[in-house]
């Protein structure tokens, strides 16, 4: 009901505005002037680090978007890449292969425009030597086919866009930390060394975007719940609350995923506008916890409980850099009183962030994240089933530094996260070299550590790995 009221208020406010047009955003904000190119081509997937995007051939005929215009498919524009990655674990694996990653991925992207319509299709063909099965599963991304996009964008009017089908959705202000961005994530891909873009899993949804003088409004409806691709023992070993130890492929955690179309659905909305040089946004979500934090002791399975979330964010220039703040209140709808120890409790999540250029071609960023759990005493009664067993307030600090060497086409990045109360952390390092306009070489690491085997990062430490990759774009 709260979501419907929120949407009605926002729509009514926008319809009553005399001129409906999306205002330009200041440089450095999420929906920048460049991102407004949705009038020509929507940005459906988050940007990759420099040199890891869709690299286009300089010898093939292209249009203004840089996409190849094939003579065999007149009107369609094609692009893609071939990416080969090999990763090895740095610790003795628990119920896993020694190689965390050994795959070649061919991505093909096709796009065509008609008057007011844009069709996009992006699919990955994967030869994965680590996978135990190659049968496609579009929900989990496993198998030889991973369908990333299959959608149609209709520019109905100058103030209304409708996009339907499989698409990558994202909003919010955090870097690798998500509060109001309750769209599916692929944590398996993220921790084994696939590119950053694969952290965002696709959604099968309808997105309606309205642009007005008072505010802009995005409404997303997902008729069947899209869950995170979470750590469950396949590819990533994790603490098993039922076996009371770290397990992997030999004891994969089962989950009771809501899968009824139109009954197990999701709604999400964002209203945003610019105030001077700052962008402010309000968020609402009605669906399920994206990863299964609930437990069924009788069935020994993880449970996706109902979730409603309400939040806000602001982002803009500060002291020579870009600052952001975001807050979200999680309402655990299946147990608002917090008395059921097997249902995740309601939370308040808060984020502060700051990024700026430290020197020429050198940028740095820092974030502080706080997660406060309500009715903490009832939650602790679930021990030892709970994993991780949280403190009532979890603190997390992150830092990121990125250095570019334009003369040598080399980019180095290191992201670190550390929780002082959990005494665990994560290091993500990456070094890439653009050998040519089409060819890039990359090496990197995912290092996880912790003093307790059941904290968020500590339970994943046996999955630490190093990897190398070669990509050819066309």
Confidence of residue 238 (pLDDT cuts 50, 70, 90): very high
> Among 281, 287, 301, which residue's Cα sits nearest to residue 334?
287
Q: Is the pLDDT of residue 21 over 60?
A: no
Cβ–Cβ under 8 Å, residues 129 and 103: yes
Confidence of residue 379 (pLDDT cuts 50, 70, 90): low
Tens digits of residue pLDDT in 130-182: 998 899 999 889 999 999 999 999 999 999 999 999 999 999 999 999 999 99
Confidence of residue 338 (pLDDT cuts 50, 70, 90): confident
Confidence of residue 354 (pLDDT cuts 50, 70, 90): very high
Tens digits of residue pLDDT in 306-315: 999 999 999 9
pLDDT of residue 281: 98
Q: Is the pLDDT of residue 57 over 90?
A: no
Q: How many CB atoms lie within 10 A of CB 81?
A: 22
194-217 average pLDDT score: 97
Burial class (CB in 10 A: 0-12, 13-18, 19+), 8: exposed
Q: How many CB atoms lie within 10 A of CB 27?
A: 11
320-327 average pLDDT score: 98
pLDDT of residue 67: 64
pLDDT of residue 204: 98
pLDDT of residue 337: 87
Tens digits of residue pLDDT in 86-108: 999 999 989 999 999 999 999 99
Cβ–Cβ under 8 Å, residues 269 and 3: yes
- Give 74's Cβ-side CA count (13 Å radius): 0
pLDDT of residue 30: 41
pLDDT of residue 36: 39
pLDDT of residue 376: 76
pLDDT of residue 429: 98
Confidence of residue 345 (pLDDT cuts 50, 70, 90): very high
> Among 221, 253, 225, which residue's Cα sits nearest to residue 237?
253
Confidence of residue 223 (pLDDT cuts 50, 70, 90): very high
191-195 average pLDDT score: 96
In the chain, the percentage of residues whose pLDDT exceeds 70 is 82
Confidence of residue 383 (pLDDT cuts 50, 70, 90): low
- 3 state SS for 433-457: EECCCCEEEEEEEEEEEECCCCCCC
User: For 461, which DSSP code?
Assistant: G
What gap in Å lies between CA 99 and CA 93, rounded to an integer? Answer: 9
Q: Is the pLDDT of residue 51 over 70?
A: no
pLDDT of residue 64: 45
| Element holding 9 (H helix, E strand) | helix 2-15
Cβ–Cβ under 8 Å, residues 185 and 177: no
- Residue ranges with strand state E in 377-438: 393-405, 410-419, 424-434
Confidence of residue 123 (pLDDT cuts 50, 70, 90): very high
pLDDT of residue 407: 93
CA distances, 74 to each of 78, 80, 110, 111, 112 (Å): 11, 17, 12, 11, 9
Output 22 or 433, whichever has higher pLDDT: 433
pLDDT of residue 464: 98
What gap in Å lies between CA 294 and CA 340, rounded to an integer? Answer: 10
pLDDT of residue 339: 86
Q: How many CB atoms lie within 10 A of CB 323?
A: 17
What gap in Å lies between CA 33 and CA 36, rounded to an integer? Answer: 5
Output 162 or 385, whichever has higher pLDDT: 162
pLDDT of residue 375: 82
Confidence of residue 369 (pLDDT cuts 50, 70, 90): very high
Confidence of residue 277 (pLDDT cuts 50, 70, 90): very high
In the chain, the percentage of residues whose pLDDT exceeds 90 is 75
pLDDT of residue 35: 38
Q: Is the pLDDT of residue 210 over 50?
A: yes
211-239 average pLDDT score: 96
Confidence of residue 341 (pLDDT cuts 50, 70, 90): confident
pLDDT of residue 72: 64
What is the rounded average pLDDT for all residues in the chain?
A: 87
366-390 average pLDDT score: 75
């Amino acid at each position: 009901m709260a979501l419907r009221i929120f949407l009605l208020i926002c729509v009514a406010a926008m319809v009553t505005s005399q001129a409906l047009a999306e205002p330009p955003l200041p440089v450095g904000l999420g929906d920048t002037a460049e991102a407004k190119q949705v009038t020509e081509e929507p940005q459906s997937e988050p940007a990759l680090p420099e040199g890891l995007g869709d690299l286009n051939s300089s010898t093939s005929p292209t249009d203004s978007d840089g996409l190849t215009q094939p003579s065999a498919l007149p009107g369609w524009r094609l692009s893609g890449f071939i990416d080969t990655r090999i990763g090895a674990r740095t610790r003795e694996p628990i119920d896993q292969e020694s190689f965390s990653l050994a795959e070649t991925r061919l991505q093909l992207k096709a796009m065509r425009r008609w008057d007011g319509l844009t069709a996009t299709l992006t699919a990955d063909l994967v030869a994965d030597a680590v996978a135990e099965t190659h049968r496609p599963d579009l929900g989990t991304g496993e198998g030889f086919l991973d369908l990333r996009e299959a959608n149609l964008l209709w520019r109905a009017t100058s103030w209304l866009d409708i996009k339907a089908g499989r698409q990558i959705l994202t909003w919010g202000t955090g870097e690798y930390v998500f509060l109001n961005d309750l769209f599916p994530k692929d944590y398996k891909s993220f921790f084994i060394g696939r590119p950053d873009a694969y952290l965002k899993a696709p959604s099968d949804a309808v997105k309606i975007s309205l642009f007005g003088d008072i505010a802009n409004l995005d409404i997303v409806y997902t008729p069947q719940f899209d869950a995170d691709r979470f750590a469950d023992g396949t590819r990533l070993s994790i603490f098993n609350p039922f076996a009371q130890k770290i397990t992997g492929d030999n004891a994969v955690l089962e989950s009771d995923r809501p899968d009824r179309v139109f009954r197990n659905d999701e709604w999400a909305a964002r209203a945003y506008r610019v105030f001077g040089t700052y962008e402010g946004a309000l968020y609402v979500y009605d669906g399920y916890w994206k990863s299964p934090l609930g437990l069924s002791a009788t069935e020994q399975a993880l449970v996706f409980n109902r979730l409603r979330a309400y939040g806000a964010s602001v982002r803009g220039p500060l002291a020579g850099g870009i600052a952001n703040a975001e807050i979200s209140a999680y309402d655990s709808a299946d147990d608002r009183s917090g008395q059921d120890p097997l249902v995740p409790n309601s939370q308040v999540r808060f984020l502060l962030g700051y990024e700026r250029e430290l020197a020429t071609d050198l940028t740095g960023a820092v974030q502080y994240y706080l997660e406060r759990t309500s009715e903490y005493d009832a939650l602790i009664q679930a021990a030892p089933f709970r994993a991780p067993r949280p403190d009532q307030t979890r603190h997390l600090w992150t830092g990121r530094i990125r250095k570019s060497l334009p003369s040598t086409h080399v980019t180095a990045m290191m992201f670190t996260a550390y929780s002082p109360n959990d005494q665990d952390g994560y290091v993500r390092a990456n070094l890439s070299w653009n050998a040519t306009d089409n060819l890039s070489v990359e090496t990197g690491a995912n290092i996880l550590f912790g003093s307790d085997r059941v904290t968020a990062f500590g339970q994943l430490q046996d999955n630490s790995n190093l990897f190398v990759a070669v990509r050819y774009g066309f």
